[in-house]
Amino acid sequence: MAAVSGLLERFQGYGDRTALIEANGAQVSFADLLREVDASSAAFAGAGLAAGDVVALTADYDCGTIANLFACLDAGAIVALLPASADPDPALLRLAQARFVASGEHISAHETAAGEPHSQLEILRAAGTPGLIIFTSGTSGEPKAVLHDATRFLARFDDAAKAHTTIGFLLFDHIAGLDTACYTLAAGGTLVALKDRRASTVRHAIASTQAEVLPASPSFLRLLCLDEEAANDLKSLRTVTYGSEPMDAATLERLKVMLPSAKLIQKFGTSEFGVVPARTRPDDGRFIELDESKVAIKVEDGMLHVRAPTAMIGYLGEEKPSVINGFICTGDAVQMDGRWMRILGRRSELINVGGEKVYPQEIEDVIRELPEVREVIVRGDPHPLLGKVIAARIRITEAADAPTVRKAVRKHCSARLDRYKVPVTIELTEDALTGERQKLLRRS
């Protein structure tokens, strides 16, 4: 497969340069990685892997995962990426129609339920093209299986040239994590794996490897700003990228103070078309401009639609087309300011308060301005007359006094927001409000 073999040839040219620093500190060179790819190719061939087969791959930032990924794609297989934190979900295996399940050196055959093959998979098989299956996170609904042409996906990295040491923070089985891994390796950079995604672990990894790039979610960056010891450990960072959730102005200001030498860059992408080229507005990092020489955009009824050459083939098992005239509806509501665009949030998260439409992010941004707040999720609670009223669940700092925080939240919101946006219910908790992907758990 040309796209995969071309990438492997680039790896060969990097020789003994470090490709990966694993979570245990072991360093893996590009030459080591290529030897692992060869070993994986032989193991899959011995297991009977054929072009067009679906391999469910437990995915993390380790040499075995990366070797398995490229070995399978080079063989023309279709790789379904699974979270490394749990045993393979039988429902996801059925949806992907997986024939093999692989984790490290362990490869096992899998009985696919009888039935017609997904038409989307047959498109790839007819073209003789390897594929990628990305499962959506399911934070606001049931997970879907997004099918990509791997050749188109990997072609995006042909011009990768900035060889940096990059923290592997975004999960490998997510489109943004896969993008991070492929770009870093294609450019001859070094990936840094993490034992876990606690703020202390991440900052220690940055300090010990002198990492230059940190891709992260806004939710994690907010927590990092609260870590009083972070600034000294983060001095090597030159770029911090953020996406997957709307960013707030207060966190951006805190990051600028903590990381005066780092560029703060907003990324935009979805599981359906990957990360697209964009520019961050210099005076307000909440806004971006998508590169319309690479993608087409349109806004209908406040909703963003994108047409990109890396668009998915479709959702497995869904007959209704999700790509219409080349465009995919992202589900994101946006605010336009000339050519600049700000993501307001998912339309599905909209709260109707007595006929007034409210995006929870607007209220969350205001509440986060209070120094006692670590995390916050705003939701709509049922009301017999208004339909919904605003409720806020807040994780406060350890030293904060609960009654004082409640009063401060109500006073601050009353001063900054319309009356119908002020939380009627304020619930304080010590539990984390973000999940494994370091995004707010709105569905919970």
CA distance 7 to 372: 48
Q: How confident is the model at residue 436 (pLDDT cuts 50, 70, 90)?
A: confident
Residue corresponding to tokens 């339920």: 113
User: Contact, 350 vs 358, CB < 8 A?
Assistant: yes
Q: What is the DSSP letter of 112?
A: P
Q: Which pTM does this prediction carry? A: 0.87
Contacts of 299 (CB under 8 A, 6+ apart): 305, 334, 336
pLDDT per residue over 206-248, tens digit each?
999 999 999 999 989 988 888 777 888 999 999 999 988 888 8
Q: How confident is the model at residue 151 (pLDDT cuts 50, 70, 90)?
A: very high
CA distance 439 to 444: 12
Q: How confident is the model at residue 114 (pLDDT cuts 50, 70, 90)?
A: low
Average pLDDT over residues 20-35: 96
User: Contact, 421 vs 415, CB < 8 A?
Assistant: no
Average pLDDT over residues 308-326: 81
pLDDT higher than threshold 70 for residue 443: no
pLDDT of residue 113: 64
Q: How confident is the model at residue 168 (pLDDT cuts 50, 70, 90)?
A: very high
| 153 closest CA partner among 7, 18, 371 | 7
Lowest mean pLDDT among 111-120, 122-131, 283-292, 378-387: 111-120
CA 313, 187, 314 angle in degrees (round to 5)?
5
CA distance 255 to 253: 5
pLDDT of residue 71: 96
Average pLDDT over residues 304-327: 83
pLDDT of residue 320: 66
Contacts of 357 (CB under 8 A, 6+ apart): 350, 351
Average pLDDT over residues 328-346: 88
pLDDT of residue 345: 82
pLDDT higher than threshold 90 for residue 438: no
Q: How many Cβ atoms are within 10 Å of 195's Cβ, its own excluded? A: 13
pLDDT per residue over 346-377, tens digit each?
878 889 898 888 889 899 999 999 988 989 99
Average pLDDT over residues 398-413: 90
Per domain, the residue ranges of the chain are 2-154, 350-429
CA 33 distance to own-chain centroid: 24
pLDDT per residue over 58-83, tens digit each?
989 999 999 999 999 999 999 999 98
The DSSP line for 215-277 is EE-HHHHHHHHT-TTHHHHTTT--EEEE-SS---HHHHHHHHHH-TTSEEEE-EEETTTEEE-
pLDDT higher than threshold 80 for residue 414: yes
- How large a percentage of the chain has pLDDT more than 70? 97
Domain 350-429 is found in CATH 3.30.300.30? yes
CATH assignment, 2-154? 3.40.50.980
pLDDT of residue 140: 45
User: Contact, 36 vs 67, CB < 8 A?
Assistant: yes
pLDDT per residue over 380-399, tens digit each?
999 888 888 999 999 988 88
CA distance 208 to 248: 30
Helix (H) or strand (E) holding 104, with range, is none
Mean pLDDT of the chain, nearest integer:
90
pLDDT higher than threshold 90 for residue 105: no
Q: Given phi > 0 = left and psi -120 to 50 = alpha, else beta, which region is 97?
A: left
The DSSP line for 180-197 is HHHHHHHTT-EEE--S--
